[in-house]
Structure 1
Amino acid sequence: MAKINLRPWREELRAEKQKQFVVMMLGAVIIAAGLVFLWKSDTDSRIAYQQSRNAYIETATKQLDKQITEIENLKRQRDELLARMQVIQDLQGKRPVIVRVFDELVRTLPDGLFYVDLKRTGERIDIVGMAESNSRISNLMRHFDESEWFTNPNLTNVSAADDLRSGYSEFNLSVQQKTSEPEGEDEE
């Protein structure tokens, strides 16, 4: 007898190939979904890492801004302290000069003459005094001319004193203090 195959083998083959196709498609979809999931999780982790780096940079920037503000405050305080120190040094440097000016005022004062009022304005000293005679006033002016500390004596007024000081003449005199310290004087 001849072998006759009555089974529908073509339909079975087609159904088998269709099953394989569906399985392959499902596998491809699953693999594609897995790859998409891996890519998305990698991207999310990179974004999270970058955000953490950005947050770190922001906090570091804020700390640096605070430090910069502190440094600026310290520089301002330092400048203020340096200015104060300069003022103190200037005052310390002028202190012996004032003492020497008063000492020179006493040294230039001749007998028979005394000061009633001294007033200093800048480098000018205004003197109001009493003298027994005009020659003593002239002598005082010569002493100021010869002084190492004073220059340009200028007599502005000489008048007879009131009754309480009879015999004395009142005078107004101004003299300039030399701006540089005289040579030969040692600073202490």
Structure 2
Amino acid sequence: MIRINLLKPEIKEVREPAAGLPKVAKERKKTSLGTIIFLVLLVSLAGYYFYQNWEMQKEKQLLEQAQQEKNQLQYVVAKLEEVKNQKAQLELKINLIRQLKSNQDIAVKIMDEINRRLPDYVWLKDASYDGQTLKLKGEAISNNLIADFITNIERSETFGQVDLKDSTQKSQGGAVFLEFNLTVPVKKPQLQPIEQPKPKAAPQATRRR
């Protein structure tokens, strides 16, 4: 049996692709590639920034640690210098005490030597010793006695040449006297020790017969 199709055949329209479509796709691909490259660069820059920041923080910590060690070292050096100064001051005080004690002992011996050579009617009012020179201030009833006193001093091997600074006549209560000032160089501070008075022996008891 033969069938005859009396309907009009369907005509399918075939649309051709638009001419600009490949260009849009290419542009999108370029945009995506540029975005990826930008993101990669951004991540790289961020990583480099954080790495540099970490390095800077590390260097900062090292500098702070070095500064702390330097401060501690300066503190130790300052303490050592302070201890050194205290030691020097202590040694200076000890030497000064020894010197004063030595000068005191020498001054006592010098005054004993002077008193031994002091003539009658000559009195000492003041005396001072600075380690090299002895200064004397006294009174006498005549210039001859002052001259005798100077001669007695110069005969000693302990003293040098006496310098008579002045001799002034004064009066008090009707009495006339001379006030004088002498300077005496000390040549030998090591003098003979002062003789201490010997204790008297106790009297022996006598037996009664």
> Does the TM-score normalized on the shorter chain lie above 0.5?
yes
Deviation of the 1:12 alpha carbon:
7.2
Q: Distance in 2 between matches of 1:86 and 1:75?
A: 16
Q: Which residue of 2 aligns with 1:177?
A: 184
- Return the match for 1:98 from 101, 107, 113: 107
Identify which of 53, 56, 64 aligns with 1:55: 64
Provide closer, same or farther for how the CA distance between residues 68 and 7 of structure 1 changes in structure 2, counting only shifts above 3 A: same
The letter for the 2-side match of 1:152 is V
Change (3 A) 1:62 1:79: same
Q: Does 1:117 find its partner at 2:152?
A: no
Secondary structure at the counterpart of residue 32 of structure 1: helix
Offset at 1:136?
Answer: 6.0
C-alpha distance in 2, partners of 1:118/1:102? 11
Q: Which one of the candidate residues 143, 158, 167 is aligned to 1:156?
A: 167
Structure 2: runs of 5 or more not aligned = 1-13, 194-209
Q: Which has the higher helix share?
A: 1
- Kept in 2, the 8 Å contact 1:126–1:175? The answer is yes
The one of 97, 114, 128 equivalent to 2:139 is 128
CA, structure 1 residues 29+118, in 2 after alignment: closer, same or farther (shift >3 Å)? Answer: closer
CA offsets per residue over residues 85-124 of structure 1, 9 Å max, x none? Answer: 44324323322320221121122134x4463523337632
Please, which moves more after superposition, 115-124 or 35-44?
Answer: 115-124
The alpha-carbon distance between structure 1 residues 149 and 56, as it changes in their structure 2 partners (threshold 3 A), is same
Q: How much does 1:159 deviate?
A: 7.8
TM-score w.r.t. the length of structure 1 is: 0.62
Contact 2:122 2:138 in 1 (8 A): no
| Aligned mates of 2:37, 2:147 — CA distance in 1 | 124
Letter in 1 for 2:162: N
User: Against the structure 1 CA distance between its residues 116 and 13, is the aligned structure 2 distance closer, same or farther, given a 3 Å change threshold?
Assistant: closer
Indicate the residue corresponding to 1:26 in structure 2.
Answer: 35
Structure 1 alignment gaps of length 5 or more: none
TM-score by length of 2: 0.57
What RMSD over aligned residues (CA atoms) do the two structures have, in Å?
4.3
Aligned to 1:180, what secondary structure does the other structure show? coil
Change (3 A) 1:26 1:107: same
- Structure 2 CA distance for aligned equivalents of residues 134 and 80 of structure 1: 49
1-structure distance, mates of 2:42, 2:143? 121
Q: Which residue of 1 aligns with 2:10?
A: none
Q: Contact conserved, 2:168 with 2:179, CA < 8 A, in 1?
A: yes
